[in-house]
Amino acid sequence: MKALATVLAVCGVLLVCLFGSSRAQQSQTFELAVCNMSDFQGVFMAVRHKQDAQKWQVDGWYAIPDGGCTFIGTYPRDAFYYYAESNDGGEWSAASSDQTGQPECVNHDQWFTEAGGAPCAQGQESVRFRLINVPANQARFTQTLTGKK
């Protein structure tokens, strides 16, 4: 438990360095960072995010360091979806019963950018992305992936 607290403290320092001092302000965008605090290694994430008020885009794969954090990007507010998987069997997706989950096509073998939607092209698979709502007063948001093998 002490090791986890140390890792979280280091991630907090890293995020302050990446993003500067925290000051609550409302803006049209938010910065997204992701931390892997799970037992799984080799984690990669795909993100479904707004391009503008009406258009969404899906892209991946962002490498999330084992036991660490990384900056993903700056996106229009106020929500995003994600799907993540690891090289050793971990998966973070919306449950089939999750009404807010969004099916999207991903290519497991290479970087991809898609406008979103179905049907999936050859070489792609439909997976369920989880919805995350970002609070209006939060300019920086960190999603933490957890889980045990």
Q: Dump pLDDT digits (tens) for 10-65.
A: 444 444 444 444 444 468 999 999 999 999 999 999 999 998 878 999 999 999 99
pTM: 0.80
pLDDT at residue 10 in the model: 43
Supply φ then ψ for residue 2, to 5 degrees. -65, -40
Residue recorded with tokens 């910065």: 31
Q: Dump pLDDT digits (tens) for 96-116.
A: 999 999 999 999 999 988 877
CB-CB contact of 147 with 113 (8 Å) = no
Structural domain spans, the chain: 2-145
Burial of 93 by CB count in 10 Å (0-12 exposed, 13-18 middle, 19+ buried)?
middle
